[in-house]
Structure 1
Amino acid sequence: MIATSPPGDLLPDTGLLVHPVYLAGRGDTATVYEALYDTRGWGKATTATGLMFTSPRQDAQVAYLPESRYGGWKAVQYRGPLGTPLWWATFSRNTPAEITSAFTTALVEGLPSNHRDFLHGGPDLSSPAGALAERGWQTDDTAMYLYQRSPDGHAYFALRKGDLDDYMELEGEGPAQWTMYGCVDHVNGERWHADFTSATPLYLVRKAVLALSSTEPVERPLSGIPERNLPYVTVSPVGAGTDQRRSAALARTPHASEAGATPTIAPAAAGVPVSGPSRRR
């Protein structure tokens, strides 16, 4: 499919359906909060470093940490209440919200059974790599990594090969087991990325992978799509209207603007460019 970038005479808040998701921009992070806010028993707190959500058993935390090395989100599960970490997953600040929310939603659903309900049989048993292969992603095998790349070459999922001490991995002193990222310039371009340590439950990684490789378009205002990505995305206009559930979640979210919420989408005539200032290409 040939990418069709939006015309230059659209208003910045024009609502667009964008594909692929990995080039669509950060999006509305209210979708990341929804599962955490809507699940009974999860504690919520605003801290000096960001936002913190704690599971009912205090054996898992999900945090928005804007001042951390890469900003964005971090999820951690512990052996017991606030005990030794078992695994962590991080999502940099520009990770599309659909990918992060797929992971956090699956975590909320699977944690009460300690992931047991997702480990035996059913579609969630298949590997992340298998899911990508089924969707036509190509495999590149190197000495250190097994890469799977999207058909357009702008997104990757990488499996680290070889052994790494679990403690070093959890301390961030070496690469995580899995990494996914998207960018249009692999040498100099800015990219978003997400990392998952080796003990991360496989079905959680798979949920993120399915969101990464989804062929469904996502909604963004024109201003929410990174300018460097415009020549590489396929877009179509959407009508006016705001998702009431998402708006309610955003309204009750502390520091929502710092978390990367997108502006309200303005009306756009379907298929008709809206006159206004041109964007620099």
Structure 2
Amino acid sequence: MAVGQRQLAAFAETHLTNVPFDVSPRYLADPGDARHVTHALAAVRWNCSSDPLSPQVVLTSPERDARLSLNPLSAPLPCWRVEGHPVDGPYWWAAFDELVPAEIIAGLTDALIPGHSADQPDVRDVLAAADWTVTGRNGQVSSAHSPDDMVSVEFHDDSTETFSWRIEARAHPGEGPALWAIRLHGQTPAPMVSGLFTALASSEPVQRAMSDRTAHYSAPKEPSPLQPQQVVAAHTNRLARLRSQARAQRRRQHTAPDRPAAGLPTPGHQAPPVPGDPTERPFVTPPRTPRPHPQLMEQLRLFLSESKRILADWDAYSDQHSGPGGWPLDEHAHGRRASRRDADTWRAFNRIRTDARHLLHTAETQLSALPPTTVQPRWAWQLATLSDALDHLEALHARWLETRTSLPAEARPGTETYGLALAEHHADAWSYLDTWAIHAQAILDIHTAAQQAPSPLAPAPAPAADRASTAGR
């Protein structure tokens, strides 16, 4: 499953019309948008096996060793449940009540994404650094309380409990009914536990709409410095980062050990450039007169058309060569086909690569001059998202040129070492290229709106009666 334009547009539609407010402490905020969790997992190829017309969501990892279920109708039972059943480890689970903020749940689920650092801080250190009161012996946490005493943590290390971690937020400091609860099985892996507590104890506020309820009336809600477009762009960028992280980790796992590592540096040697290879050219050409704008618009249309075809071909291949759960039947063949998709998308982007920044600046200028009644709310954040993706693409291109320079002398174009390094560059860039494939239509839409908008220099048409009298004279 992938997070495509339709899903991102639906997310944007929700948040672009809301004035964001910061809520802190985050554990007293309302649940927020569940897509903070589900979009992240879907972006890294978790498969959705639930009925799309049902309120329940079920996602399964590509390796089928973890599962997330969200059932809003299950209250008062936990609405969220995450289960892990790895081949080489014990079964574990985590359960979250309906009112647990999505950002806290994501602390655990993000740790399930390939590439997440296994070197996570100890829970005791995380809570102590956030000024929580912690008790325990021998470096273990037996109980903890938030600075305002609204959240309590208990750890049970005996076999009489069906869970080992119990985390509860209460209506009053140290007492009163529970606002929400989290339960963790004793075998929950340490990175997931650490990720959860890091998100729970974070002092960073979470953004909520002005009209959203909070889990507790005492939770401060202040106007956020973020604009709605920035909230949406942060979500899009988060998905791109997690997707890139997961792809990089899977490439490392599926690289044969007897293959030479891509980009082993050998000082003093430089591989020759590839004749006609567009990756050898500067990402942005030196100052020059841009191509005529109508020509750039046509090249942008061709890029969008080609990228759409490339993605459709990839989806058809993936559907044909994947099992019922969405995992590849042959990981190596799947990886090779993904590399081809990445390279093809990069080549398609070369149509506009050197003029992409000019395209953005022109669209921003056109957007600022449009009558407000003709402006779509999503255009501003889409341009911001495209600009951020272009920043990453420029940085990745500069890193590729450095990598190519450091390749061994024998790593000429056509060799496996060169090919692996170039494929890794294309793979790192793909998620940002995909961002352009999804959102660059906004540049065309803004251009069309600018052409149809009345020119501020054109005189207002005379009334029909005046024109008739003038013609009579």
Alpha-carbon distance, 1:101 to partner: 1.2
Alpha-carbon distance, 1:16 to partner: 0.8
Alpha-carbon distance, 1:175 to partner: 4.4
Name the structure 2 match of 1:147.
143
Alpha-carbon distance, 1:30 to partner: 1.0
Partner SS, residue 171 of structure 2: coil
Alpha-carbon distance, 1:149 to partner: 0.7
Partner SS, residue 195 of structure 2: helix
Is the CA contact 1:88–1:197 (under 8 Å) kept in the aligned structure 2? yes
Aligned match of 1:209 in 197, 206, 220? Answer: 197
Name the structure 2 match of 1:45.
49
Name the structure 2 match of 1:29.
34
Correspondence 1:90 to 2:86: no
Give the number of aligned pairs: 214
Name the structure 1 match of 2:85.
78
Correspondence 1:218 to 2:214: no
**Unaligned 5+ runs, structure 1:** 1-12, 166-173, 250-263, 265-281
CA RMSD of aligned residues (A): 3.2
Deviation digits for residues 99-121 of structure 1, max 9, x if unmatched? Answer: 111211111226xxxx9x62xxx
Name the structure 2 match of 1:10.
none
Is the CA contact 1:20–1:234 (under 8 Å) kept in the aligned structure 2? no
Is the CA contact 1:30–1:246 (under 8 Å) kept in the aligned structure 2? no
Name the structure 1 match of 2:70.
64
More divergent stretch after superposition (235-244 vs 56-65)? 235-244
Taking the TM superposition and a 5 Å limit, the aligned residue runs for 1:121-270 are 122=119, 124=120, 126-140=121-135, 146-160=142-156, 162-164=157-159, 174-185=161-172, 186-226=174-214, 228-229=216-217, 231-233=218-220, 235-238=222-225, 240-242=227-229, 243-244=232-233, 246=235
Partner SS, residue 224 of structure 1: coil
Q: Look up the equivalent residue of 1:22 and give its one-letter code.
A: Y
State how far apart, in whole Å, the 1-side matches of 2:67 and 2:215 are. 34
Choose between structure 1 and 2 for higher RCO, CA contacts under 8 A separated by at least 6 residues.
1
Name the structure 1 match of 2:286.
none
The change in CA–CA distance for 1:245 and 1:20 in structure 2 (over 3 A counts) is: closer
Alpha-carbon distance, 1:247 to partner: 7.8
State how far apart, in whole Å, the 2-side matches of 1:239 and 1:79 are. 40
Alpha-carbon distance, 1:34 to partner: 2.0
Deviation digits for residues 56-90 of structure 1, max 9, x if unmatched? Answer: 22121111122335242111111449xx9700011
Q: Look up the equivalent residue of 1:194 and give its one-letter code.
A: I
Alpha-carbon distance, 1:133 to partner: 1.5
State how far apart, in whole Å, the 2-side matches of 1:227 and 1:129 are. 26
Is the CA contact 1:25–1:96 (under 8 Å) kept in the aligned structure 2? yes
Q: Look up the equivalent residue of 1:129 and give its one-letter code.
A: R
State how far apart, in whole Å, the 2-side matches of 1:75 and 1:215 are. 25
The change in CA–CA distance for 1:49 and 1:163 in structure 2 (over 3 A counts) is: farther
More strand by share: 1
Name the structure 2 match of 1:5.
none
- TM-score, with normalisation over the residues of structure 2? 0.41
Aligned match of 1:109 in 94, 114, 125? Answer: 114
Alpha-carbon distance, 1:234 to partner: 5.4
Residue identity (%): 25
Alpha-carbon distance, 1:31 to partner: 0.5
Alpha-carbon distance, 1:248 to partner: 11
State how far apart, in whole Å, the 2-side matches of 1:80 and 1:227 are. 38
**Unaligned 5+ runs, structure 2:** 1-17, 239-376, 378-473
Q: Look up the equivalent residue of 1:226 and give its one-letter code.
A: T
Alpha-carbon distance, 1:29 to partner: 1.2
The change in CA–CA distance for 1:152 and 1:43 in structure 2 (over 3 A counts) is: same
Alpha-carbon distance, 1:38 to partner: 0.5
The change in CA–CA distance for 1:244 and 1:195 in structure 2 (over 3 A counts) is: same
Q: Look up the equivalent residue of 1:61 and give its one-letter code.
A: R
Name the structure 2 match of 1:279.
none
Alpha-carbon distance, 1:237 to partner: 3.8
Alpha-carbon distance, 1:206 to partner: 0.8
Alpha-carbon distance, 1:221 to partner: 1.3
More divergent stretch after superposition (96-105 vs 70-79)? 70-79
More helix by share: 2
Taking the TM superposition and a 5 Å limit, the aligned residue runs for 1:12-23 are 14-23=19-28
